[in-house]
Amino acid sequence: METSVFILLYVILFLSTLLSYPFLRKKKRGFRVGRSKLPAGSMGWPYIGETLQLYSQDPNIFFLTKQRRYGEIFKTHILGCPCVMLTSPEAARFVLVTHSHLFKPTYPKSKEKMIGPCALFFHQGQYHTRLRKLVQSSMSPDAIRKLIPDIESIALSALDSWAASAQVIDTFNEMKKFSFDVGILSIFGHLEEGYKQKLEQNYRIVDKGYNSFPTKIPGSAYHKALQARERLNQILGEIICERKEKRLAEKDLLGHLLNFKDEKGQTLTEDQINDNIIGVLFAAQDTTASVITWILKFLHDDPKLLEAVKAEQKAIYQSNSGGKGHLTWAQTRNMTLAHRVLIESLRMASIISFTFREAVVDVEYKGYLIPKGWKVMPLFRNIHHNPEYFSDPQHFDPSRFERAAPKPNTFMPFGKGVHACPGNELAKLEALIFIHHLVTKFRWEVVGSKSGIQYGPFPVPQGGLPARFWKESSCPSQNMCP
């Protein structure tokens, strides 16, 4: 069955790259190499490049093999696009920070259409700057600290349901539900349950079709996702209309978007509001769910570290009248060990393994030409796993962040520069809150012997980390729970 799926994938990739080849050839004739030369590397087979090599193995092995052979900058051809890969901190900073104006964010048109072309991460310049400020202001420390009691409630509700079922769960999929609920909270505040259910139902269809082959054939996952995306617009329109009628002055993300006016008094259009809401949901869900899933695996695999995290969190628990009081912002800032576990998980897992940019002009970097129109990919995972910057990089070691701070531009779990994730503080907060309630009130056991990583597209433990959860109170003796 798996072999058939891979063969089908290869056929689809071959046809897509074959159709795009005439366009790529037309663009290539416009290059002016001058004295600079293209980086070393292989462009693979005619038409399809090295796409099959990338998708037939662990992508990390593909990129690492290239780096060892060609150095910190090399060329390839994947997914119908000529690409330049960058694996050094200096190169990442060049593309994402100091010379970011020479490179624009780029996504496949099918994915841009799914999220919405007005979403901030498809843009640069003045529009992007304005939208980014709105998102950042709604997710600033002052804004998200007020969400702590509600995030605690969402975390406890999820954990209670897993423990009550006594069933093996797909941890990653359940974490996606948790992060979705937190995303809804940050965008809408306390949204009426009927709206929330309709948003979730249609969002799941969009999410399922997001990485599918982009065909509009009726019944295909992509076609269903497009229809669900239209329904999301209608639901969001109803929510916006209701909020305007009630003249609610909320300070959540929707409130910031509705209240925005530029220097000419222009407000955002409904399409702009809708696309940015969906964009934030996409950005907030899989990435946060992935890293929390990895945290559970790393803690489960290191009992000594788990006990140390428990001791830290139990002290906070006891200071809150035995868990009767809510966590405070100050307490989440003082979860020193849990925070180191979080950031080491971000380094090890490297949820965002790379980012796509496109050169808007011919660019020279260290004597090499990056031609206009070529994709440029800073490879975060290669940097995070480079022994020059992190000793014994394949070993999970939170204490490395206690011994010394990372060298500049070597640790970029949320990206870098003007397009870095604006919701990173919210993501870290919900992870810390979840860890607190998990280790103080529950136990869990990873089920099965599967190891390794699966990509969909974000890296998660094999099988989504199947696990079973118990309440501490239901474990009267050490022998009854793992």
What digits encode the pLDDT tens for the residues 188-203?
999 999 999 999 999 9
- Predicted TM-score (pTM) of the model is 0.87
pLDDT at 269: 95
What pLDDT is recorded for position 96? 95
274 or 45, which is more confident?
274
The answer to which of 9-23, 95-109, 225-239 has the lowest mean pLDDT is 9-23
Query: What would the pLDDT profile of 412-458 be if each residue is shown by its tens digit?
Result: 999 998 888 889 999 999 999 999 999 999 999 999 877 788 876 77
Cis peptide before 422 (omega within 30 of 0): no
Q: Is the pLDDT of residue 15 over 50?
A: no
The predicted model gives 355-376 an average pLDDT of 94
Instruction: Kindly state the average pLDDT of the residues 359-378.
Output: 95
Please report where in the chains the tokens 């901190």 appear, as a residue: 89
Q: What integer is the mean pLDDT of 109-125?
A: 88
Q: Which domains does the chain have, with CATH numbers?
A: 1-116+353-384 (3.30.43.20)
Q: What is the CA radius of gyration of the chain?
A: 23
Q: Which of 45-49, 266-270, 306-310 has the lowest mean pLDDT?
A: 45-49
- What mean pLDDT is predicted for residues 57-84? 88
pLDDT single digits (tens) 137-194: 999 999 999 999 999 999 999 999 999 999 999 999 999 999 999 999 999 999 999 9
Q: Is 475 annotated as a binding residue?
A: no
Task: Give residue 283's pLDDT.
Answer: 86
> Where is average pLDDT lowest: 43-52, 276-285, 411-420?
43-52
* The pLDDT of residue 475 is above 80: no
